[in-house]
Amino acid sequence: MEPIVETTLGRVRGTTSSGISVFKGIPYAAPPFGDLRFAAPAPARPWDGVRDAFEFGPTAPKPPYHPPLDRLLPDPSIPGEDILSLNIWTPDLEMSLPVLVWIHGGAFVHGSSAVPVYDGGSFARDGVVFVSINYRLGVEGFAYLEGAPANRGLLDQVAALRWVRENIASFGGNPDLVTVAGESAGAMSAVSLVAMPDAEGLFRRVIAQSGAGHSAMSLATAKRISTALAEDLGVEPTREGFASIDPTDLVVAQDALSRRILAQPDPQQWGEVAADSMAFEPCVDGTVLPGRPIDRIVAGASSDIDVLIGTNADEYSLFLVPGGVDQGIDENVLRMMIGAYGLDVEAALAAYRESRPDATPGQLMTAVLGDWMFLIPALRVAEARAVQLLSTYVYRFEWPSSLFEGRLGATHALELGFTFDNLGVEGAERLAGPHPPQVLADDMHRAWVSFVSTGGPGWSPYGESRTVMCFGAESGQLEDPGADVRVLWEGIR
């Protein structure tokens, strides 16, 4: 069966299998090339007849993951210019079901909606209309350029949400019951959307997996990054200057700059980027993104939004373990790193060692970096909303992968196969290893579906007791887990 649906731009033809209809590669905005390069997303052109929506659309210009991450994170690359597209999985075209819009991760420079684990069939099977989107990455989406709107990648996401608002009812979705969800850069994007005036009224709930509201650089840092890249390219840091560079060549230069910053993370030269290594994350430009998302949330920006937010127990192992970096860290390096992040070295060492008594120096540094980058920002969102008595739920994913002799632990992105209930799809085993527990996927996926559908995932909200649902070999909710470590960061992060 090939269902046909009328959209505001024309008719699209999808496929149906096992009761799930799928539509892929539907444009929500015009290709951002030629005269539209570095512009705000423009309306897509209508089409005549019926457009086949059988395949994922082209992916945004991006570099490949470098070894060893390329062996762990699938990242399809599809040629073409119609990169601003979305995909839909729906169980019933005639219903009015809750909608989940998925924003992929990849540090704002990698990823796409075509990553196999993002298949939305399991959500559709359970009564949710699932939408996944592509958006501009790297320089094309996030470099600050004179003559171009800032945060173009975020503007793309808003354009996709507007398309959903206008069209999702035709696919069986309720436009008034939309959840925006994402992981890593996708979670940071979702929380950024909460802080954006342009996105107001386009969604009702947010799921943020391993990403929160601190990852937005200052305008001064954004200009510094663009100027450095312009110097490398021999052009001016303007829309006109960067538009003179072929997108493929721009990706090469962007990747080279990112690697240079990673090799020499000097805060005097690179500002906030020296700490998080994301040279092309969103910036606080004052218009598209009026302030840091966390600051906007503290001021009440998320008052009409339900939030589910959380992290993994060993987030940073993905970036240290596969290449063996963790095994080269000794006590001196650990102490230096703890001090560099503003913690009291002796107090932090004592607290982290007590929380992980058998940990090596490399594993302790992994914990410190993961808390700084992921855990504490997530808790700051939950704390700010708890003060305002807003519906907020916090989780922690603790099931450890068996890979790398178990050193990978509950690493960054490992939870995706569980929340999507896609442990069997291509590539899921690259992080999970053999025989991940299906019962845990059942529990997590059920909680995500419940939150999207009702606003409650099945455990107590975050408040004075700091309730956190811990998903692992034995799942259950705890009050303020890791409190001794959490308090170390007060006034620092």
Q: Could you tell me the sign of the dihedral formed by the alpha carbons of 307, 313, 316, 321, in that order? A: negative
Q: Rounded to an integer, what distance in angstroms lies between the CA atom of residue 244 and that of residue 91?
A: 45
Is residue 184 part of the annotated active site? The answer reads yes
Q: Is the pLDDT of residue 25 over 90?
A: yes
Helix, strand, or coil (residue 173) = strand
Catalytic residue among 183, 272, 281, 315: 315
104 is catalytic: no
Q: Is the pLDDT assigned to residue 122 strictly greater than 90?
A: yes
- Residues 185-203: tens digit of each pLDDT: 999 999 999 999 999 999 9
Tell me what pLDDT residue 348 has: 97
Model pLDDT for residues 397-437, shown as the tens digit of each residue: 999 999 999 999 999 999 999 999 999 998 899 999 999 99
Predicted local confidence at residue 70, as pLDDT: 96
Q: For CA atoms 379, 182, 98, 18, give the dihedral sign.
A: negative
C-alpha 288/C-alpha 439 separation (Å) is: 42
What is the per-residue pLDDT for 410? 98
Mean pLDDT of the chain: 97
What CATH number was assigned to the domain covering residues 4-217+282-304? Answer: 3.40.50.1820
Q: What is the CATH number of domain 307-489?
A: 3.40.50.1820
Amino acid 138: pLDDT? 98
User: Which listed residue (412, 415, 445, 475) is catalytic?
Assistant: 412
Pairing of strands 205-209, 476-479: unpaired
Strand partners, 52: 13
> Residues of CATH 3.40.50.1820 domain(s) within the chain?
4-217+282-304, 307-489
> pLDDT digit string (tens) for 148-158?
999 999 999 99
pLDDT-derived band at 146 (thresholds 50, 70, 90) equals very high
Q: Check pLDDT > 90 for residue 1.
A: no
**pLDDT at residue 96, rounded to an integer:** 98
Examine the residue annotation and report whether 140 is marked as an active-site residue of this protein.
no
